[in-house]
Structure 1
Amino acid sequence: MQESMNEKISMETYLAREEQAEYKSEYERGRVRAMRGGSVNHGIIGNNVNGELRTAIGDKNLDYVAINSEVRVFIEAADAYVYPDGMVICGEVETAAQDEHSVVNPILVVEVLSKSTGSRDRGDKFHMYCSLPAFREYVLIDQYKPVVDVLYREEPTCWKMVTTIGLDKSVYLQTLDVSIPMADIYRKVSGLQAPL
């Protein structure tokens, strides 16, 4: 959940505030967007999917690392710092030159959609992530119904989207060459609505 951007500050001021802040916030071209606590289902889904990513990486003995929502991504082209709900990095973790607490090379990014962030995650935030050279796969998880969209970069400017609907299906992640059951992503999530 996010509050609207209401003040303009320098990147240095943002980073200094973020070090002391009780709550996370995102930064884009001088504007700060406060992040508030998400729903219980949002937290459960985030934990479930990050656990599945870690398991897949371990089972395949890949030189990847799964990182949760506590680590921010610096997107230089957008002059932005954002907190995805999860991400995967291939090889060495690279950090921003001006901030060792922000990574710059996620290959896969996960966002759990909420009513307040869904449009931004599908639009502006996705376009910002696209400017990251390593970025190849984007996973958008609906927290209200069992629907997951996976966007995969086929060519530098061409993305393919596959939508998976229903708890009896599995989501295929091309970057990791793994299928994750939707039932595992939505394990212990309450009040799911019918997908259609």
Structure 2
Amino acid sequence: MSAVPIPQFTPEEYLALERAADHRSELVNGEIYAMAGVSREHSLIVTNLGSALHTRLRGRPCETHLTDLRLSVPDTHLYTYPDALVICDEPHFVDEQFDTVTNPIALFEVLSPSTEAYDRGAKFAHYRRLPSLKYYILLSQAEPLVERYERQENNDWLLTELRGLDATLDLPALQVSIPLSDLYERIVFTESDSSLP
């Protein structure tokens, strides 16, 4: 019995399809995957994050984008939509459509049960191939918990865990500090939400 061939898409084919589509998909290892919807909590956290970043970066040569600006990792041909990204200086685009960037300094993902393993593993492996990337930030929906990965001078990544609404997310390269209470505004946590005892 022969295996059914798996369709492989080039970045150019993917971009042509994606630009004509009425929904968002990502390209991973030549395969196109539809992106799932998000919860109310996920949407609120992304909105809070975008507001906090925009306010703190106002008047500086940095841009904040939420969910709709496509990101390309040229080395691995990943095309995806981070929950938020920050670009400083001039954005680098893959082509003249100006809708797919390659040079974020910071990427943010709000963890969902269906994507958490991917965001922590394979997606982060793709993201680490971006020379411009200084920060990768994971935000939990289940509890006030933010994990900040920061690229070191030797190209290793240092993890700092921030837990509780009294904690503050510091991004020194951006000269930005955001209290977790701002990021989790209007989010109600219950004791059963926490994954830790």
- Give the TM-score of the pair, scaled to structure 1: 0.90
Q: Match of 1:172?
A: 170
Q: Match of 2:42?
A: 42
Give CA-to-partner distance per residue, 1:96-125, whole Å, 9 cap, x none.
Answer: 137531001000000001011111111111
One-letter code of the match for 1:14?
Answer: Y
Deviation at 1:156, TM superposition (A): 4.2
Q: Match of 1:189?
A: 187
- CA–CA distance in structure 2, aligned partners of residues 145 and 85 of structure 1: 18
- Percent sequence identity is 34
Bigger strand fraction: 1
SS state at 1:78 partner: coil
Deviation at 1:30, TM superposition (A): 1.1
Deviation at 1:10, TM superposition (A): 2.6
Matched, 1:30 2:20: no
Q: Match of 1:93?
A: 91
Give ranges in structure 1 of 5+ residues lacking alignment: 1-5
Deviation at 1:171, TM superposition (A): 1.2
Contact 1:57 1:64 (8 Å CA) reproduced: yes
One-letter code of the match for 1:71?
Answer: L
Larger Rg computed on CA atoms: 2
SS state at 1:23 partner: coil
Give CA-to-partner distance per residue, 1:7-37, whole Å, 9 cap, x none.
Answer: 5323222112111222111102211111021
SS state at 2:113 partner: coil
- CA–CA distance in structure 2, aligned partners of residues 161 and 174 of structure 1: 14
Contact 1:171 1:180 (8 Å CA) reproduced: yes
- Give the TM-score of the pair, scaled to structure 2: 0.90
- CA–CA distance in structure 1, aligned partners of residues 104 and 66 of structure 2: 12
- CA–CA distance in structure 2, aligned partners of residues 24 and 13 of structure 1: 15
Contact 1:24 1:35 (8 Å CA) reproduced: yes
One-letter code of the match for 1:108?
Answer: A
One-letter code of the match for 2:19?
Answer: E
Contact 1:45 1:185 (8 Å CA) reproduced: yes
Of 83, 105, 119, 1:121 maps to 119
- CA–CA distance in structure 2, aligned partners of residues 13 and 36 of structure 1: 21
Give ranges in structure 2 of 5+ residues lacking alignment: 1-5
- CA–CA distance in structure 1, aligned partners of residues 101 and 180 of structure 2: 28
Q: Match of 1:160?
A: 158
